Amino acid sequence: RQGLVRVVPRPFFRLSNGIASRQIHSVPLPYSGPPSYDTIARRLSSDPGSHLYFTRKRQQEAKERGEYVDIHDIGGIDPEEYDVLITDVNQEIMQGEIAEVVGIPYHAEATKEAAKEVVEIGQCYIFGRKFRTIFPAVVSKGTQAHWVFFVIDGGSPLTYLSVHTSDLFGISEASGPYMFNIAGHSSPVHRSPARSHFTELNLIGMDFFNYHQVSQVNDFEKRRAQLFIGKGWQMMARKRRNNKKKTHNAPPQRQHTSQNSTEAVDRPQEAQSVLGQWSPHQAPPRRAQQQPRIEPQ
């Protein structure tokens, strides 16, 4: 039928490590090489990636065995299953130390303008000896909008609101997920489980990073981080020529291609960001009328 892709077994190939494999229809064999960082880079940066190849390979093998459904793929993630112990951030610290640094009271009511703003560059504060990345953002639902401080948790598959924030928005313990706007981006959220160890915390999970294609750049020396939100950003890095100077990743820039060149350049009137120019006491950078091209230092 039109629109359907048929998976056809191809002849077996033998990789350098002796593992037999086969070419999956429409997906080329991943790069095979000796154990090295170059091999890892090539396999993970290939398009399509090796992940897609082996995912389709497992699906094909399951189909050949007469298995049409993988029971592990049924349904979503149970929000009650996740737990994490974070002892250095709590409600009191967010209301005190963190609110003092970012210059905004925790749970303060947000203006209508702030609630409608779609953030492209999120400004974060790296807090404490355990380097917790704190993302202050406006959380809104309907006509209600408040400033909420999130802990970015790379281990959490889901995004959670603390019991205090949930109560503020009227989220009952048994309900969820709910669709909220976080920094202007529609995202599903859950109430922190009552039996968990993070009931006082708001967590940005990897679902938010996945849905909105978020890239994070850290500047630990200056205790700040930036979230580049959206598919339009392209990560670029350049090592400084002067070895006496410290190096860091250059911030991403908006990708734009023309017929004559595929080099990434900045679009006019797009938000710009360079680490080192923002202070937690200043407002995040906004769109400018005329923006120069970024040249990472």
Q: For 3-61, how does the pLDDT look when each residue is reduced to its tens digit (9 = 90+)?
A: 444 443 444 444 444 444 445 556 677 778 888 888 888 887 777 667 777 777 777 77
**Residue 233: pLDDT band with limits 50, 70, 90:** confident
Cα 215 from Cα 209, distance rounded (Å): 8
- Measured CA distances, 149 to 111, 164, 179 (Å): 16, 12, 18
Torsion of CA 233, 237, 242, 244, to 10 degrees: 100
**Residue 201: pLDDT band with limits 50, 70, 90:** very high
Cα 214 from Cα 206, distance rounded (Å): 9
Residue % of the chain over a pLDDT of 90: 49
Give mean pLDDT, residues 197-224.
Answer: 96
Mean pLDDT is highest, among 63-67, 159-163, 237-241, for: 159-163
pLDDT number for residue 257: 42
**Is residue 131 scored above 70 in pLDDT?**
yes
Name 288's Cβ contacts closer than 8 Å, sequence gap at least 6.
269, 271, 272
Of residues 229 and 171, which shows the higher confidence score? 229
**Is residue 249 scored above 50 in pLDDT?**
yes
CB-based contact 137:147 (threshold 8 Å): yes
With 0.85 as the threshold, say if the pTM is over it: no
For the chain, where are the alpha helices, taking DSSP H only?
Answer: 37-45, 50-64, 91-93, 99-102, 112-116, 163-169, 206-211
**Residue 72: pLDDT band with limits 50, 70, 90:** low
Report the mean per-residue pLDDT for the chain: 77
pLDDT number for residue 117: 96
Cα 105 from Cα 103, distance rounded (Å): 7
For 94-189, where are the alpha helices, taking DSSP H only?
Answer: 99-102, 112-116, 163-169
- Measured CA distances, 211 to 24, 158, 206, 236 (Å): 28, 11, 9, 21
Cα 102 from Cα 280, distance rounded (Å): 5
114, two tokens: 């702030």
